[in-house]
Structure 1
Amino acid sequence: MRRRFNTVVCRFIRGAGARRRVRRWATPLACVVLLLSFFWTHTLADSYAPRQSVLRVLAWPGYADDDWVRAFEKRFHARVEVTFVDSDEALWARMHSAEPQPFDVLAANTAEIERYARAGMLTVLDLSRIPNRRWQQAYFQRLASIRGLVDAGHAYAIPFTYSSMGLIYDRKQIAVAPRSMRALWDPQYRGKVLDFNSAQHNFSFAALALGYADPFHLTPEQMRTVARELVRLRRNLLTYYTLPEEATEQFVQHHVALMFGNYGTQQVEQLRQAGVDVGYVIPDEGALAWLDCWAITRNASNPALAYEWINAMLAPDIGKQLTKRQGLANTMTPVPGDAASEASGAGPHLVWIQPVENIGQREALWQRIESGDRLRSFPQ
């Protein structure tokens, strides 16, 4: 009896010890199990949860306003990353830079679109995925009639906005609107002229001023003549500008009299908002005009969202806001200088920009001109 009692007591003691050991480890073990369960559950949830789409846009200032971007993000549950550029050269450099992710959609003029398409950097567009094209003027819907947008029957870009590159002048200093681009060289405006910092456009508008029939394909002799004219133009220049905001600041601060308006009516609107009484004119020789278009890059990581972006940018309300805010024409309004207007003798003479004969040569010469090389260093 005593032996049995001792056995039971020993078993109880051993059991009590085991129970104490279990109780001692139970709480920490339960915590570990709960933590593992939490992390496992959330890892699975994250792996199956839909990730937010990202659209990378490469464009000019005014083409992707904050409220447009927010509305697009909300509608498509996406994030839009916008990168702005201030020149065609900067756009080209961005497209060739070592970006961690490729851009999905870009805005460029027709000459650059042709250049990008030939380089194999754009994707062929499925026009059925851009239904808002129906709001555009018929001229802009006939893509094949606009050089640079269609190749071998395939469309690579959709028109978005355009502007002429005319002359902007201060009405207080110039009472009568200038009739020719040659006014930029007039000695009475010495130190009171602004010019856009671009090799391609400067050579082309100077070629127009000299009366050359094709300002985009200059002969070697014409190229030398234009280069010397651009050197002579420096005598009248206050400075070169890149962005329209920069030009507005310079125009106001230094009482500029005359400017080559690379951004055209957009700059006119900004200057008027700044309180300057400016006029705008298309010279008799004609004015260069750019037509900026949306295109999808060949390496786009989110082409479906890129189509939605282009379609959204062609909505009538966006077009109206573009004109109101930026002073730029939209593709839903009649085109000044289109084929019908020119045939009837009405409207200004616009020369849509084209790819040039030799970009490298123009840029090399422009670097010398812009940096101040003297006239005698340029052969006749």
Structure 2
Amino acid sequence: MQRLQWEQLVVGLCLLASVVPAQAEAVLRVLAWPGYADADVVREFEQRTFSKVEVTLVESDTELWQRFSHNEGADFDVMAVNTAELQRYIQQRLVAAIDPADIPNLARQLPRFRQRQDIPGLVHAGQSYAIPYTYSEMGLIYDRRQLPQPPDSIAALWDRRYQGKVIAYNGGVHNFSLAAQSLGFASPFRIAPAQLPAVVSQLIALRRNVSGFYTGPAESVAMFKERHAALMFANFGSQQVQLLKAAGVDAGYAIPREGALAWLDCWAVSRKARDPQLAARWINYLLEDMPGRVLLQRQGLANTTSASPYFKHNARIVWLQPPESAERRDKLWARILAGDRAGKVLQP
């Protein structure tokens, strides 16, 4: 009898050993922006789900598209993308519809984010393709010591008084929108061919006025400090303000009278995700209190489950929309950045 019991115990332990490694081998591949998947946030999720999270960070919409679309989305399970950029992923059938029933924490979101059908680009044919996560306006950051009064217009980026003391973002899509705004065009997201020469000339003038172009939040802080900049276009919004203050910079933040471009980043699931349920658990987890506090307190970014102390609700906000051609904007921006003159930039 004792021998039989011992053999049963050994068999049971072997079966348990065969199950545990299978659970531990679950891997979630995340494509995100800096600050969206910090190590402690990831570690908590891994411990709960007995999984391994592999995080890849990007610093531009162009890089996000290149990485995700490279293998038709098969290299990643879930990604963070803004509502404007999301549209081309849906059109190319790279992301899957999300079943709200798989994400019970949607009930914790503020009313404006629970009404996904009212947020342009999230719902297609009655199905949700992304879940709102964080948002910010893209205002103007300034050094209070050099600018006692906050800048009130986008035109400050072109002001010759600040030549060599301006920092801007290295991204064609947003910079073309910014230039169109500064020129007073009706829509910064629909630049007609006849308007391109003026926009290109405006961006060449910006290139000549800036000290440098950054890609990520950390780089923008280092550049702002090292070059003693007076003014910066905040592509990452309040996240950069928070980082600058933590670095000892007396940074102010202003929304220009023309209005600030603003983004709403969401989580979307790859159509070729290996484990869609694990991806849904990741999204659901990030709507809990701890990840939300990390966004607010550490990153200076709003979450979708509590009121934001950073987002200026009374400011004029221009929510991002898909541009007329992201590819053309990026192509022309690369030429501008390389130092080409307007005539060469616009060559076919």
The TM-score normalised by the length of structure 1 is 0.83
Q: What's the counterpart of residue 324 of structure 1? A: 297
Return the match for 2:29 from 32, 56, 60: 56
State the AA in 2 paired with 1:200. Answer: V
Structure with a larger share of its residues in helix: 1
Q: Return closer, same or farther for 1:213/1:77 CA change in 2, 3 Å cut-off.
A: same
**Residue 169 (structure 2) aligned to one of 196, 219, 227:** 196
Q: Would you say the 8 A contact 1:105–1:297 is kept in 2?
A: yes
The alignment yields a C-alpha RMSD, in angstroms, of 2.5
Q: Does 1:374 align with 2:346?
A: no
Query: Are 1:274 and 2:247 matched, yes or no?
Result: yes
**1:141 lines up with 2:108 in the alignment:** no
Which residue in 1 is equivalent to 2:6? none
- 8 Å Cα contact 1:173/1:257 also seen in 2: yes
1:88-237 to structure 2, matched below 5 A, reads: 88-98=61-71, 102-237=75-210
Q: 1:42 to 1:90 in 2, by over 3 A?
A: same
Q: Which residue of 2 aligns with 1:314?
A: 287
| Per-residue deviation, 1:223 | 2.1
Paired amino acid for 1:230: L
Instruction: Give how far 1:281 is off.
Output: 0.7
Gapped regions of structure 1 (runs ≥ 5): 1-40
SS where residue 182 of structure 1 aligns?
helix
Which structure's CA Rg is the greater one?
1
Match of 1:301 among 260, 264, 274: 274
Residues in 2 aligned to 1:294 and 1:64: alpha-carbon distance in whole angstroms:
12
- Alpha-carbon distance in 1 for matches of 2:254, 2:166: 15
Q: 1:78 aligns with which of 48, 51, 69?
A: 51
Q: Which residue of 1 aligns with 2:322?
A: 355
Report the AA paired with residue 354 of structure 1.
Answer: Q
The answer (yes or no) to whether the contact 2:74–2:270 under 8 Å persists in 1 is no
Query: Is the Cα contact below 8 Å between 2:335 and 2:345 reproduced in 1?
Result: no
2:337 aligned partner, one-letter code:
E
Equivalent in the alignment of 1:9: none
User: Runs in 1 of length 4+ with deviation above 6 angstroms?
Assistant: 41-45, 335-338
Measure how far apart 1:232 and its partner are. 0.8
Name the CA distance, whole Å, in 2 between partners of 1:307 and 1:269.
Answer: 29
Partner of 2:223: 250
From the superposition, tell whether residues 49 and 60 of structure 1 become closer, same or farther in structure 2 (CA, over 3 Å). Answer: closer
Check 1:47–1:162 CA distance in 2 against 1; reply closer, same or farther (3 A cut).
closer
Matched residues in 2 for 1:45 and 1:321: separation?
Answer: 36
Tell me the CA shift for residue 47 of structure 1: 8.9
1:206 and 1:230 in contact (8 A); partners too: yes
CA–CA distance in structure 2, aligned partners of residues 101 and 375 of structure 1: 39
CA 1:281–1:101 in 2, change beyond 3 Å: closer, same or farther?
A: same
For 2:134 and 2:47, the matched residues in 1 are separated by 25
Task: Point out where structure 2 has 5 or more consecutive residues left out of the alignment.
Answer: 1-12
Paired residues in the alignment total 335
SS at match of 1:50: helix
Query: What's the CA shift for 1:334?
Result: 4.0
Percent identity (aligned): 50
Match of 1:263 in 2: 236
Q: Is the 8 A contact 1:190 1:236 kept in 2?
A: yes
Q: What is the CA–CA distance in structure 2 between the aligned matches of 1:106 and 1:208, rounded to whole Å?
A: 29
1:287 pairs with 2:287: no
Give the equivalent residue in structure 2 for 1:16: none
Q: Which amino acid aligns with 2:187?
A: D
SS of residue in 1 equivalent to 2:235: coil
